[in-house]
Amino acid sequence: MIAVLGSANMDLVATVDRAPGRGETVTGHTFTTVPGGKGANQALAAARAGGDVAFLGAVGDDDFGRRITTLLADAGIDVSGLAVGDRPTGTAHITVDATGDNSIVVVPGANGTVTELTDAHRAVLDRAQLVMMQLELPLPLVTAAARYARSRGVRVVLTPAPAVPLPAELLAAVDVLVPNEHEAALLAGFADPVEAARSLAAGGGDVVVTLGGRGALRVGGGTETRVPAFEVEAVDTTAAGDTFAGVLAVGLAEGLDWDDALRRASAAAALSVRRAGASSSMPDRAEIDAFLTEG
Ligand code: ADP
């Protein structure tokens, strides 16, 4: 089983010609509410790809929380460790202008209430082969969970987003670090992704740097591998990285070797960029299989 300890948000997306300046009101065109949060996205990507997934986190006692919980549960995800916090469900208030640029306000809400590793979290981690985390929950909690998982022999996969300097004790407990190239550069202090990956892998873990349309790069186990991206027409790259990480975790939990796990992750991410949306764009297992056989 794959445990995902992470954020669940409702994205509130308004499209405008241009974003309002200070004190200004502009009229928007469309408004949509889209379940998101890196934790929920990775959990959904993993479940769609056939993973046995349990989600740990918190939502509020409100409509957004209920909608996210239903979406996860309908995907077959165990939501018994998804607490209902006393703050509203986390929200991301997103304004997308005519050029596609966006401005975002994130209100962590219930996500910010997940501050301690509880007995319920430990019980799920004890049953997991692998735990997947990101940095949208409080850092001390992520660190505590990584250390606990490590002590139990549970593999720890971390997407370090949003990028913040990582405490050494957290990095030391991570088996697989999956940054994109910007996060890798920020964490390692090297702009070059190969150098950044080598430096982040120096502690002995595996590092997979995703490079958008240029694929990915793995450094670990004494080897360096380039993972080409599949050529597709990119429509919307939202959650490509979360799809990649979720499907990589499924491959690793199923015991695939690195090359196969990375190829499946790459295929799933490519399929997701061909369609608009975040969770709605993630492929299922059959689609990934068909894409890999038919190309
Ligand atoms: P993030 O969304 O976290 O910034 P990336 O942009 O690096 O992550 O994308 C993650 C993965 O998604 C890449 O490693 C690649 O496999 C796939 N991907 C992203 N953009 C494209 C694209 N234009 N064509 C094909 N695959 C893509």
List the chain domain ranges. 2-7+38-88+111-294
Nearest CA to ligand 1 atom 5: 212
Residue among 206, 242, 257, 284 flagged as catalytic? 242
Q: Whose C-alpha lies nearest to ligand 1, atom 10?
A: 241
DSSP letter (8 states) at residue 180: B
Residue 11 has pLDDT above 80, yes or no: yes
DSSP codes of every residue in 230-290: P----S--TTHHHHHHHHHHHHHHTT--HHHHHHHHHHHHHHHHTSSSSGGG---HHHHHH
- Residue nearest (by alpha carbon) to ligand 1 atom 13: 212
At residue 17, the pLDDT reads 96
pLDDT at position 295, please? 65
What's the pTM value of the predicted model, to 2 decimals?
0.96
pLDDT at residue 107, rounded to an integer: 97
Q: Is 175 a catalytic residue?
A: no
The amino acid present at 169, given as its one-letter code, is: E
SS3 content of the chain, % helix, strand, coil (to 5): 40, 25, 35
The residue-averaged pLDDT of 207-215 equals: 97
CA atoms within 13 A on the CB side of 169: 11
Given a contact cutoff of 8 angstroms between Cβ atoms, the answer to whether 162 and 135 are in contact is yes
pLDDT tens, position by position, 151-203: 999 999 999 999 999 999 999 999 999 999 999 999 999 999 999 999 999 98
Q: Does 217 contact ligand 1 (Cβ within 6 A)?
A: no
* Ligand 1 near 163 CB (within 6 A): no
Q: In this prediction, what percent of the chain has a pLDDT beyond 90?
A: 92
Q: Per-residue DSSP letters for 208-223? A: EEE-GGG-EEEEETTE
Protein residue closest via CA to atom 3 of ligand 1: 241
- 141-156 mean pLDDT: 98
Averaged pLDDT for residues 25-42 = 96
Whether the pLDDT of residue 122 is over 80: the answer is yes
Tokens 């997947």 found at:
132
User: Helical H runs in 76-167?
Assistant: 119-127, 139-151
Neighbours of 205 (CB within 10 A): 20
Q: Which two tokens stand for residue 73?
A: 């549960």
pLDDT in tens, 251-283: 999 999 999 999 999 999 999 999 877 777 899
Closest CA to 111 of 80, 141, 150: 141
Mean predicted confidence (pLDDT) in 22-47: 96
Ligand 1 centroid to residue 60 C-alpha, Å: 31
The Cα 103–Cα 89 span in angstroms is 20
**Alpha carbon distance, N-terminus to C-terminus of the chain:** 29
Asked if residue 211 has its Cβ within 6 Å of ligand 1, the reply is yes
Q: Is 266 in the pocket of ligand 1 (CB under 6 A)?
A: yes
- Please give the Cα distance from 170 to 108 (Å, whole number): 22
**C-alpha span between 123 and 161 (Å, rounded):** 26
Output the CA 172–ligand 1 centroid distance in Å.
26
Q: Does the beta carbon of 240 sit less than 6 angstroms from any atom of ligand 1?
A: yes
* CATH number, domain 2-7+38-88+111-294, options 3.20.20.100, 3.10.50.40, 3.40.1190.20, 2.40.40.20: 3.40.1190.20
Residue 247: what pLDDT? Answer: 98
Q: How far apart are the CA of 169 and the centre of ligand 1, in A?
A: 29
- Using pLDDT thresholds of 50, 70 and 90, give the confidence band for residue 239: confident
Residue owning the nearest CA to atom 16 of ligand 1 = 266
176 alpha carbon – ligand 1 mean position (Å): 18
236 C-beta closer than 6 A to ligand 1: no
Which ligand 1 atom minimizes the distance to the CA of 242?
3
Contacts of 127 (CB under 8 A, 6+ apart): 1, 3, 54
Residue with tokens 């997103």, as numbered in its chain: 94
What sign for the dihedral angle of Cα 233, 236, 238, 243? Answer: negative
**The two structure tokens encoding residue 270:** 């490519």
pLDDT level of residue 100 (50, 70, 90 thresholds): confident
CA–centroid distance, 41 to ligand 1, in Å, is 15
Q: How far is ligand 1, taken at its centre, from the CA of residue 59, in Å? A: 28
